[in-house]
């Protein structure tokens, strides 16, 4: 996706919640809702999961589920789970971001990414407590260090759990380099500073539209 045609982020405003009791209650409700949504999604999608697992397995060498270290809330590392969409051992040497025409992506992987189906195993992370349904997408430390050097405000994203879908993902999309990650950061900062149930629901609706239209890449 060309960054020049992406929508510009809204003006970033602050909408801080200073009531600790209310914050804890909201976190508890969000946690319970996340677990229920994740369990329901995994059950409903179980036939699709079985079919995709078979297709990924026969598409080439490598595991069906791909795991990778990411940074979560308060800078705590965790292992994220996704359906493998790249060839086995696709990354050697320094970490690399992928792009839509990436040669490392398999044929089934292109389909998975187009409809964001590769992220279905993220529901396991939600159940484990590493992620939430909505929140900034988790990044690798290698890229976080580079982003922090140029915009320390990224640290604000680490105040909450990362999510399966985010304002940055639906409004900007995937980033193929650090410059684009910095552009997408503005959307995630807007989310952090204006977080609300209404905005979460809006993000879920936008995500549904992205999936149905096959605009994941």
pLDDT tens for residues 121-151? 999 999 999 999 999 999 999 999 999 999 9
User: Do the Cβ atoms of 207 and 27 come closer than 8 Å?
Assistant: no
Question: Residue 2 above 50 pLDDT?
Answer: no
User: Do the Cβ atoms of 133 and 204 come closer than 8 Å?
Assistant: yes
pTM for the predicted model, two decimal places: 0.86
Pairing of strands 163-165, 132-134: parallel
Question: Residue 10 above 60 pLDDT?
Answer: no
Task: State pLDDT tens for residues 13-39.
Answer: 444 444 555 677 878 888 999 999 999
Q: What pLDDT does residue 27 have?
A: 83
Domain ranges for the chain, please list them: 42-212
């Amino acid at each position: 996706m060309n960054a020049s045609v992406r929508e510009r982020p809204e003006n970033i405003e602050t909408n801080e919640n200073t009531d600790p009791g209310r914050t804890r209650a909201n976190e508890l409700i969000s946690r319970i809702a996340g677990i229920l949504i994740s369990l329901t999604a995994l059950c409903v999608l179980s036939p699709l999961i079985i079919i995709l697992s078979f297709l990924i397995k026969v598409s080439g060498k490598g595991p069906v589920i791909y795991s990778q270290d990411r940074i979560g809330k308060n800078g705590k590392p965790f292992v994220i789970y996704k359906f493998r969409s790249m060839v086995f051992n696709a990354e050697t040497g320094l970490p690399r971001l992928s792009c839509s025409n990436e040669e490392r992506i398999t044929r089934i992987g292109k389909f998975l990414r187009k409809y964001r189906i590769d992220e279905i195993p993220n529901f396991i992370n939600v159940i484990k407590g590493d992620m939430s349904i909505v929140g900034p997408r988790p990044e690798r430390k290698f890229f976080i260090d580079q982003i922090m050097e140029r915009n320390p405000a990224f640290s604000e994203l680490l105040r909450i759990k990362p999510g399966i879908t985010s304002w940055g993902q639906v409004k900007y999309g995937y980033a193929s380099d650090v410059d684009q990650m910095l552009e997408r950061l503005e959307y995630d900062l807007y989310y952090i500073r204006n977080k609300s149930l209404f905005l979460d629901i809006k993000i879920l609706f936008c995500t549904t539209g992205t999936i149905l239209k096959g605009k994941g890449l």
